[in-house]
Amino acid sequence: MSKKGKLYGIGVGPGDSELLTIKASKILKKVNVVCSPRSSKEKESIALSIAKPILEEREDYKKLMVIEPIFPMLEDEKKLERYWAEASMLISDYLNKGKDVAFITLGDPSIFSTFSYVQKILDKDYETEIIPGITSFTACASSINKPLVEKNEILSIVPKIDDRLNQVLEYSDTIVLMKTSRNSEELENLIHSKEGEKEILSVENASRAEEKVIEGFSKDKPYLCTSIIKLKKEAK
């Protein structure tokens, strides 16, 4: 029986191709297949655009197999499961032929990444490895030129509003609000309503040529936008 290929989950970072790790670059230059999901057939993969300068250094770049399964932005998990299963089946076809596959994802594969859903399906039958990447929020901290937390401060990463948010606000010193484009004015109003001094900075397209740092919440709310809220609490 022929040896199966290995699946890599590779974080390509926030946007700047120079922020890919050396290890990620080495793997991208040797794998047989690159898997780069799209949110729709009409939209190009941002992760692939980040990895492209590295991939173009390959002698076989024009022959490189790139697969782009669709991972739509839906809230219905049942519908999403079908897309995850289809992508996993596509990837497994190459793994069964002994080909190594790199599944590339924005930021880090362990943080709100679609790779995790595919890994759960394939992990029991194939060897998998996660290659960490620079996260959007650490890139944003670099953009604003300030630390996220110091000493014993607590950092919370919030993907969306729910009934836990009040507790998060109560016990956190810094909040990173991910996926800003999905969040409503309700969340922003809740944060503004909390007593005490606070600093809010939003970063659009962190580390990319069109990067923009904004005081307060972004009005445009592009897909690549993250807000950092530093809560200054009185000492008890």
- Residue 39's CATH number: 3.40.1010.10
The Cβ of residue 59 has, within 10 Å, a number of other Cβ atoms equal to 7
Do 77 and 166 fall within a single domain? Answer: no
d(CA 38, CA 15): 16
Residue 173 inside a domain? The answer is yes
- Residue 226's CATH number: 3.30.950.10
Do 58 and 120 fall within a single domain? Answer: yes
Residue 18 inside a domain? The answer is yes
Residue 67 inside a domain? The answer is yes
Q: What pLDDT, on a 0 to 100 scale, did the predictor assign at position 59?
A: 96
Q: How many helices (H) and strands (E) does the chain have?
A: 7, 10
Mean pLDDT by 10 residues, the chain (236 residues): 91 97 98 94 92 97 95 80 94 98 97 94 97 97 96 92 82 88 72 84 94 90 89 65
Q: What pLDDT, on a 0 to 100 scale, did the predictor assign at position 67?
A: 97
Supply the range of the domain harboring residue 84. Answer: 7-131
Q: What pLDDT, on a 0 to 100 scale, did the predictor assign at position 88?
A: 97
Q: pLDDT (tens digit, 9 = 90+) per residue, 70-100?
A: 988 777 778 888 999 999 999 999 999 999 9
d(CA 91, CA 35): 8
For residue 36, the surrounding DSSP H or E stretch is: none
Do 118 and 146 fall within a single domain? Answer: no
Q: What pLDDT, on a 0 to 100 scale, did the predictor assign at position 167?
A: 85
Residue 145 inside a domain? The answer is yes
Q: What pLDDT, on a 0 to 100 scale, did the predictor assign at position 182?
A: 67
Distances (CA, A) of 3 to 57, 96, 126, 234: 28, 8, 10, 60
Do 17 and 108 fall within a single domain? Answer: yes
Q: pLDDT (tens digit, 9 = 90+) per residue, 114-126?
A: 999 999 999 999 9
Q: What pLDDT, on a 0 to 100 scale, did the predictor assign at position 234?
A: 60
Question: Domains in the chain: how many in total?
Answer: 2
Among 90, 112, 131, where does a domain finish? 131
Q: What pLDDT, on a 0 to 100 scale, did the predictor assign at position 164?
A: 82
Residue 154 inside a domain? The answer is yes
CA angle 139, 143, 147 (to 5 degrees): 75
Q: What pLDDT, on a 0 to 100 scale, did the predictor assign at position 189?
A: 81
Identify whether the C-beta of residue 90 lies closer than 8 Å to the C-beta of residue 122.
no
Cβ neighbours for 185, distance < 8 A, ≥ 6 positions apart: none
